[in-house]
Every structure is written in C-alpha cells, then in structure tokens.
C-alpha cells in the first residue's frame, strides 16, 4: 500500500487582515501556489482573522497582533515551516513586530522561509541588527527587488539571498460586473484612466501629502482635458479613499473624477484595470495589476519597491521628490503617445518576471522534499 503524502503544517505571517489589497493579493499568490503543489494545512497569522477566513478560506487563522508572545508560542511550535512575507515588511517602524514569530520559530528549530520581501528604509541600528540576526538563521531568503537584496546585504545578512518576484504577479483576473461599478458613478461609455494614491506612512516617511495632492490633481485635470477621459480613483487601502477625495478637491474638473468606495477582491480590481486605457499610480500593486492587464501606466515611485518594478519592466522614472508638475504632465503626455510601445515592453518582460515569481515556491518545495528525505 502506498504511504499517503505527508501533510505539512505551514504558517504564513505578514501584513494580512484586509487592510491593503496589495497584501491580500500577495497572500492569494502564495496560497494558490501552495495549494496547487503540496498537501498542507495552512495557518495564517492575521490582524483580522474574520476577514482572512472570508477572503482566503484557510484552514486556521490566528489573531497575531492580539496575542502575547507566550500565547503565540504554541501556534508557532506546532508548525513544520513558517513563511514570513511577502511584501514590504522590513522597515524601521514595524520590522521587529514581524520578526517576533521568526525568533519563536528559531527557538523551536522550525525552518523559516522569507518569501519575496522588500526592505527599507532601515536606518535604526537596533532594527538592522534584528533583521540581520533573524535572517541569518533562516532556511531560505528571497526578495522581490534588487534594492531589497542590496539593503539586506548591507545590514549584514550573509546567507544566500535569492532574487525572485512578487507572488501577486501570478493572479488571474475576476470579471467585475459592470453594473456594480456603474453604481459608483463610473461610466463605461467614456474613456477611463485609473489613478492610485496613498497616504504618507512609516514605509514612505518623506512624502508630503500636499505635494502629491497637487501633483495628482494637476495630472488628473490634464488627463481630463488632454484625453477627454474620466478619472477613476482606485483605493488599494481604506485610507486611500480619504486621500483620493483630497486630490479630487484640488481638481478643476472634479466632476470628471470618481472614487470607488465599495470593497473589492484583488482579482476584481485586476479585472477592472483591464478596462482602463491608461493608469497613473503610486501603489505598487496597482501598477503590478496594470502590468498584468497590459495597461500602459505612469508611476510615481515613493519607495524602492516601486522603483524595482519599473527596473524589471525597463521603465525608468525619477524619485517622487524630483518630479515637478510640468515634468509629470510631460511624462504622462509622452507615455500616452507611446502607449503601444509601453504595452509591447510589458508584454515582452512580464513572462520572465512571472517566472521569477514562481521560483520562491519552487525553492520551498525543494527544501521540503530534502527535509522529508532526511527525516
């Protein structure tokens, strides 16, 4: 009789719990690959277990931010493997919070895989030391961009680092009923350009809100007048709704701007972006979704993770701090005129990026196979 395959007990810890559609897209990408390739019972360490259960239907969810270190110990101890990531979780304000479960896993000699993360800013010496200590005891380390690779080397990570890519690059679109979006004021018989804004926060401490409100409002007005298009603001995080309203308030053509307010799944937003003729955005996963739908875009990079995507797609864009209104409008104008070339470049480069996105799961499978053989 054939011995049944081992069911692995795998934990996933990251910025999950319905706060950000990009993070939920990452979790979808990780889960989809695991479920397709390995028998596993999966525990997600979430900030909102109810949301995670509803969105992802995982076997077990733990309210990680509500539990003490003592309370979380048995949840970590029962695992065969802990996945940390993906996403931009290594930055000064929160890196040590995400590392708590990693140090517990090390204590119980449970292997840890760092899954397609970004890093930075990391300026505090205590945080840099924590990242160095935690990662040098991990089984596998993968990053999704070269900036993160260089920064982890700089803080003293000596274990091999693999350059892979964001698992959200493997998502498939879900058709969003037109009538649902029309109820929010979007008119599909007009030209549509998508916009994405974000809040200033610990991952992007140098952003001046008024600066990008003015930048994006002028850009939105330019799109309305130059392209005769309506502008659709797509919140990727709950706070983006407020910031989108602030941008619209600065517009001269505010009546041509619509803001999505309902909650949608990442796959639904991915489907919707395919209906846009062009997008302008700050959020990384908004731009990833545009690339997946072959929709030409202009990016406002606020962090290295956005710059990393642009490098991978062969699209050079200067940092936000050096972009004036005139420069941004000129770039939008030029990108619009060259949108067919941008589509062709995305189409050419995306398959290699998606292949990289699959490599993290392949490394994970190879590691578990070797571990099973040893034990």
User: What is the rounded distance in angstroms from the CA atom of residue 279 to the CA atom of residue 285?
Assistant: 12
- The answer, yes or no, to whether residue 231 has pLDDT greater than 60, is yes
Provide mean pLDDT across the span 124-143: 98
Question: Domains of the chain, with CATH numbers?
Answer: 8-163 (3.40.50.2000), 178-352 (3.40.50.2000)
- The answer, yes or no, to whether residue 31 has pLDDT greater than 70, is yes
Q: How confident is the model at residue 1 (pLDDT cuts 50, 70, 90)?
A: very low
- The answer, yes or no, to whether residue 163 has pLDDT greater than 50, is yes
Confidence (pLDDT) at 206? 62
Q: What is the pTM of this model?
A: 0.94
Confidence (pLDDT) at 201? 55
Provide mean pLDDT across the span 241-251: 94
Token pair, residue 15, equals: 């910025």
Planar angle of CA 303, 87, 197, nearest 5 degrees: 45
Which has more confidence, 170 or 327?
A: 170
Q: What are the backbone angles phi and psi of residue 343, rounded to the nearest 5°?
A: -60, -45
> Going along 153-304, which residue ranges are E strands?
161-163, 191-196, 229-233, 257-259, 278-281, 297-299
- The answer, yes or no, to whether residue 91 has pLDDT greater than 90, is yes
Please name the residues in contact with 169: beta carbons below 8 A apart, sequence gap of 6 or more: 29, 288, 291, 292, 350, 353, 354, 357
Strand, helix or coil for residue 93: coil
Confidence (pLDDT) at 351? 98
Which has more confidence, 188 or 303?
A: 188
Confidence (pLDDT) at 307? 85
pLDDT, tens digit, for every residue of 183-207?
999 999 999 999 998 876 544 456 6
- The answer, yes or no, to whether residue 262 has pLDDT greater than 60, is yes
Token pair, residue 79, equals: 């695992």
Please name the residues in contact with 1: beta carbons below 8 A apart, sequence gap of 6 or more: none
Token pair, residue 40, equals: 């596993």
Q: How confident is the model at residue 322 (pLDDT cuts 50, 70, 90)?
A: low
Token pair, residue 280, equals: 């302008």
Q: How confident is the model at residue 25 (pLDDT cuts 50, 70, 90)?
A: very high
- The answer, yes or no, to whether residue 78 has pLDDT greater than 70, is yes
- The answer, yes or no, to whether residue 373 has pLDDT greater than 90, is no
Which has more confidence, 161 or 211?
A: 161
Query: Percent of the chain beyond pLDDT 90?
Result: 79
Half-sphere exposure of 338 (CA within 13 A, CB side): 13
Confidence (pLDDT) at 209? 73
Which is nearest to 162 in space by CA: 101, 132, 117?
117
pLDDT, tens digit, for every residue of 264-274?
999 999 999 99
Confidence (pLDDT) at 213? 83
Query: Percent of the chain beyond pLDDT 70?
Result: 94
Confidence (pLDDT) at 19? 86
- The answer, yes or no, to whether residue 211 has pLDDT greater than 90, is no
Which has more confidence, 318 or 3?
A: 318
Q: How confident is the model at residue 59 (pLDDT cuts 50, 70, 90)?
A: confident
Q: How confident is the model at residue 4 (pLDDT cuts 50, 70, 90)?
A: low
């Amino acid at each position: 009789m054939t011995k049944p395959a081992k069911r692995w007990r795998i934990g996933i810890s990251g910025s999950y719990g319905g706060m950000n559609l990009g993070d939920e897209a990452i979790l979808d990408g990780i889960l989809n690959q695991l479920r397709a390739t390995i028998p596993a019972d999966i525990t997600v360490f979430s900030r909102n277990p109810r949301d995670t259960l509803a969105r992802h239907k995982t076997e077990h969810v733990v309210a990680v931010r509500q539990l003490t270190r003592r309370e979380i110990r048995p949840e970590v101890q029962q695992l065969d493997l802990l996945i940390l990531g993906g996403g931009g979780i290594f930055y000064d304000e929160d890196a040590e919070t995400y590392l708590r479960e990693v140090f517990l896993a090390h204590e119980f000699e449970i292997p840890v895989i760092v899954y397609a993360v970004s890093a930075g800013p990391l300026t505090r010496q205590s945080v840099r030391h924590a990242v160095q200590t935690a990662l040098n005891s991990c089984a596998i380390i993968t990053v999704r961009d070269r900036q993160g690779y260089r920064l982890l080397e700089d803080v003293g990570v000596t274990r091999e680092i693999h350059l892979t890519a964001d698992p959200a690059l493997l998502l498939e679109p879900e058709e969003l009923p037109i009538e649902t979006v029309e109820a929010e004021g979007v008119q599909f018989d007009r030209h549509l350009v998508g916009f994405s804004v974000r809040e200033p926060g610990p991952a992007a401490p140098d952003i001046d809100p008024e600066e990008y409100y003015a930048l994006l409002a002028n850009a939105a007005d330019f799109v309305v007048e130059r392209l005769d298009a309506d502008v659709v603001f797509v919140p990727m995080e709950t706070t983006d709704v407020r910031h989108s309203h602030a941008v619209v308030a600065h517009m001269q053509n505010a009546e041509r701007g619509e803001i999505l307010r309902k909650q949608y799944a990442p796959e639904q937003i991915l489907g919707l972006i395919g209906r846009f003729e062009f997008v302008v955005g700050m959020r990384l996963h908004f731009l990833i979704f545009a690339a997946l739908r072959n929709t030409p875009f202009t990016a406002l990079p606020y962090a290295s993770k956005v710059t990393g995507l642009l490098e991978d797609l062969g699209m050079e864009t200067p940092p936000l701090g050096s972009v004036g209104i005139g420069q941004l409008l000129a770039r939008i104008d030029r990108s619009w005129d060259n949108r067919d070339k941008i589509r062709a470049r995305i189409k050419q480069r995306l398959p290699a990026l998606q292949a990289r996105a699959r490599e993290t799961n392949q490394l994970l499978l190879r590691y578990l196979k070797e571990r099973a053989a040893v034990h």
